[in-house]
């Protein structure tokens, strides 16, 4: 959301990150986010540049600034998926808007509390039913995973990213130690709904969900809904 100013972000980001460590013990909302390629934003105001730099650093990014033709460039990236846990859905929408406007990919699953029917998330101007065009050209996917599914990973970093992605999709996540190694189990018994900015992004994540064992529903423009 463009009205969610960097000044507010810079003053609250540390509070939000400190909340994240205990959020799983209470009701929370999660955004998974990453920025795989370097992103540069230009600022004429040095204070705003510093605030943006600090904000993205607090979110875990590699970041730097440099003077360039009379303005300041803030350049940053975050190759690995991370979770951002927030106390309310309103905060989620504010932060997700800011993250997207700052170049990040995001994943955030919505449940039936957003709408009627299995696809969920029916904003006032939306008409979502599984995988179709959302606001401003976005496409959406409905999905569920009724039974626990064990995720396989090779490294500790991959494990952290899989957990972040699962939390972003709104899944229940359970970690267990079994035969000398850690298992990550996830499930999503109710229908959830996530939005993506392009058809390509929606298709990529639908394939990931299906490979992981989820049921998915999608509806392309002018077509009937399909179950997978």
The range of the structural domain enclosing residue 154 comes to 109-222
Q: Does 138 map to a domain?
A: yes
Those residues of the chain that have pLDDT short of 70 are: 1-27, 112-137, 219-228
Quote the pLDDT of residue 99.
98
Quote the pLDDT of residue 117.
39
Residue partners of 222: CB distance under 8 A and separation at least 6: none
Quote the pLDDT of residue 182.
84
Q: Does 227 map to a domain?
A: no
HEC secondary structure over 34-101: EEEEEEEEEECCHHHHHHHHHHHHHCCCEEEEEEECCEEEEEEEEEEEEEEEECCHHHHHHHHHHHHH
Q: Does 56 map to a domain?
A: no
Q: Does 77 map to a domain?
A: no
Quote the pLDDT of residue 69.
80
Query: How many domains does the chain divide into?
Result: 1
Chain segment 148-162, per-residue pLDDT in tens: 999 988 899 999 999
Quote the pLDDT of residue 227.
61
Quote the pLDDT of residue 57.
97
């Amino acid at each position: 959301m463009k009205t969610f100013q960097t000044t507010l972000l810079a003053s609250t980001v540390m509070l939000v990150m400190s909340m994240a460590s205990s959020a799983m013990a209470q009701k929370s909302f999660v955004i998974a986010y990453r920025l795989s390629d370097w992103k540069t934003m230009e600022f004429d105001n040095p204070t705003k540049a510093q605030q943006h730099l600090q904000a993205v650093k607090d979110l875990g990014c590699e970041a730097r600034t440099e003077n360039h033709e009379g303005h300041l460039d803030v350049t940053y990236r975050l190759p690995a998926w991370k979770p951002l846990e927030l106390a309310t859905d309103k905060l989620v929408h504010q932060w997700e808007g800011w993250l997207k406007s700052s170049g990040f990919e995001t994943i955030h699953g919505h449940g039936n509390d957003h709408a009627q029917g299995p696809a969920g998330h029916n904003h006032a101007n939306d008409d979502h039913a599984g995988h179709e065009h959302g606001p401003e050209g976005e496409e959406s996917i409905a999905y569920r995973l009724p039974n626990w599914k064990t995720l396989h990973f090779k490294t500790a970093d991959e494990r952290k990213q899989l957990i972040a992605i699962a939390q972003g999709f709104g899944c229940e996540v359970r970690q267990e130690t079994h035969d000398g190694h850690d298992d990550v189990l996830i499930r999503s018994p109710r229908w959830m709904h996530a939005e993506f900015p392009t058809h390509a992004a929606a298709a990529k994540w639908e394939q990931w969900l299906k490979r992981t064992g989820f049921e998915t529903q999608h509806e392309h423009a002018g077509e009937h809904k399909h179950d997978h």
